[in-house]
Amino acid sequence: MSSNDLSLQSFVPVPPTSHFPIQNLPYGAFLRRGDPSPHLGVAIGEFALDLTVLEQQGRLQVPALADRQVFQSSTLNTLMAEEPAVWHEVREAIRHLLQADVATLRDDAELRSQVLVPLCDLEMQLPVAIGDYTDFYSSREHATNVGSLFRDPQQALLPNWLHLPVAYHGRSSSIVISGTDLRRPYGQTRVPGSEAPVFGPSQRVDFELEMGWLVGTGNRLGEPVPIDRALSRMFGMVLVNDWSARDIQQWEYVPLGPFLSKSFGTSISPWVVTAEALEPFAVEGPTQHLVPLPYLQASRNLTYDIHLEVELQDQPEGPPTRLCDSNYRYLYWSIEQQVAHHTINGCNLRTGDLLASGTISGPSADARGSLLELTLNGRQPLTLTSGQTRRFLEDGDEVVMTGYCVGNGYRVGFGEVRGRLLPAARS
């Protein structure tokens, strides 16, 4: 029986709207009360199954691993560096222990008390040691919206955009786990019409709704990854909020692209949903209007049906404001094309590298994945549930993103990625 079987049930209670049924089993890293060392586990319902303890006690039997222990480190990188067949076998072993008709863990109260921990009692950590970070620009709607705001709408897309997955290299050291507050960044900005820039805190801090793939098995320097083998290199996905300072970006990005406007912080969700868990939600991607060069032509145009939402909490009390409803399936360039292009020059991807999608916007006005688009660069402010208005983020605003796939009576979800914008530090 596969871990994706619709009939699977766990002995752990799983509410119908939970993101973490037995069909998901996303991996994460966390601190337990009284233990300063990170543990690794999977989410199931409102609990985490502690794989570090299970492995220590010899209760996680995975023949493909032999005597190798993959859950005794602080991150998932050791497991991710294995081959996909091993990932599958590990996931099947975990599923078996959690299955409703398997007594091993279900009927052992002492063991359950040691390895099943309420999610509310955990302090989540970065699940992966991320050595490198690439941010793509793969939403045609987003690229068109931004191009229309800053250039002739008839020339919104630059000449290269329909021929290759545009990307830039981001800063991995400032990737933070959900719940980490970030300060309004300083930088140079220039008011339109003035000759000289000024220095100070950004006045146009924004969110960017993205998702990111985490590289499992990398490739050697000088050896490109063929497009039809690209997906097998990907371990899983997380939600990404790639915070952006639009006024700093507008001044600095020519000719080499974003720098200080992006490197002050990128937030990711704590649970890594595996590529295998996403398989039932694979769908055809958007029609590509120009036939790409042969190295970007896949045997299938694959993407995933992942519903995405963004909310803004502008006050400690009171309901949030829904800002955006989008979907991962809107992306023009697929992860397979992104990987094939990233490595075609021989660039070597490494275990734990993060490949983010770029802002995910859709065809409707409420599917725009940034305030830059939602407010037309501040020209049309949004009215929030509280009655306040926003052109861009203000100090104290908390952005919450979530995403999930809808199955037959269950969801496979990512939880959430949240972060609050704090005032700029004193210079």
Instruction: Kindly report, residue by residue over 350-369, the tens digit of the pLDDT.
Output: 999 999 999 999 999 999 99
pLDDT the model gives residue 193: 85
Contacts of 55 (CB under 8 A, 6+ apart): 69, 70, 71, 72
The residues that bridge with 302 in the sheet, in sequence order, are 284
Kindly state the percentage of the chain with pLDDT values over 90.
92
Contacts of 252 (CB under 8 A, 6+ apart): 187, 188, 258, 259, 260, 261
Q: How confident is the model at residue 225 (pLDDT cuts 50, 70, 90)?
A: very high
Residue 4 has pLDDT above 80, yes or no: no
DSSP state of 378: T
pLDDT tens figures, 370-379? 999 999 999 9
- The enclosing H or E element of 316 equals none
Residue 169 has pLDDT above 60, yes or no: yes
Topology of the domain covering 133-422:
Fumarylacetoacetate hydrolase; domain 2 (3.90.850)
Instruction: In whole angstroms, give the CA distance from residue 125 to residue 40.
Output: 10
Instruction: In whole angstroms, give the CA distance from residue 291 to residue 124.
Output: 43
pLDDT tens figures, 50-100? 999 999 999 998 999 988 999 999 999 999 999 999 999 999 999 999 999
pLDDT the model gives residue 192: 83
Chain length of the chain: 427
pLDDT the model gives residue 154: 87
Top CATH class of 27-125 equals mainly beta
pLDDT the model gives residue 395: 98
pLDDT the model gives residue 316: 87
pLDDT the model gives residue 320: 97
The residues that bridge with 312 in the sheet, in sequence order, are 321, 399
Residue 181 has pLDDT above 60, yes or no: yes
Residues of the chain with CATH 2.30.30.230: 27-125
Residue 270: half-sphere exposure toward Cβ, Cα within 13 Å: 24
Instruction: In whole angstroms, give the CA distance from residue 185 to residue 313.
Output: 20
pLDDT tens figures, 137-157? 999 999 999 999 988 888 899
Q: Residue range 243-247: average pLDDT?
A: 98
Residues 111 and 245 sit within 8 Å (Cβ to Cβ) = no
Residue 369: half-sphere exposure toward Cβ, Cα within 13 Å: 36
Instruction: In whole angstroms, give the CA distance from residue 256 to residue 326.
Output: 29
Residues 85 and 62 sit within 8 Å (Cβ to Cβ) = no
Q: Residue range 390-414: average pLDDT?
A: 97
pLDDT tens figures, 264-275? 999 999 999 999
Report the SS3 class of residue 77: helix
Residue 205 has pLDDT above 90, yes or no: yes
Residue 170's φ and ψ, nearest 5 degrees, are: -95, -170
Burial of 346 (0-12, 13-18, 19+ CB in 10 A): exposed
Report the SS3 class of residue 361: coil
Q: Residue range 10-24: average pLDDT?
A: 96
Residue with tokens 């960017």: 208
pLDDT the model gives residue 152: 85
| Number of helices (H), then strands (E), in the chain | 11, 26
Dihedral in degrees, nearest 10, Cα atoms 82, 88, 89, 94:
110
DSSP state of 423: P
Instruction: In whole angstroms, give the CA distance from residue 90 to residue 223.
Output: 28
Q: How confident is the model at residue 1 (pLDDT cuts 50, 70, 90)?
A: low
Residue with tokens 């959900």: 178
Q: Give this prediction's pTM.
A: 0.96
**Chain centre to alpha carbon of residue 8:** 26
pLDDT the model gives residue 2: 59
Residues of the chain with CATH 3.90.850.10: 133-422
Active-site residue, selected from the candidate residues 19, 39, 88, 142: 142
Catalytic status, residue 289: no
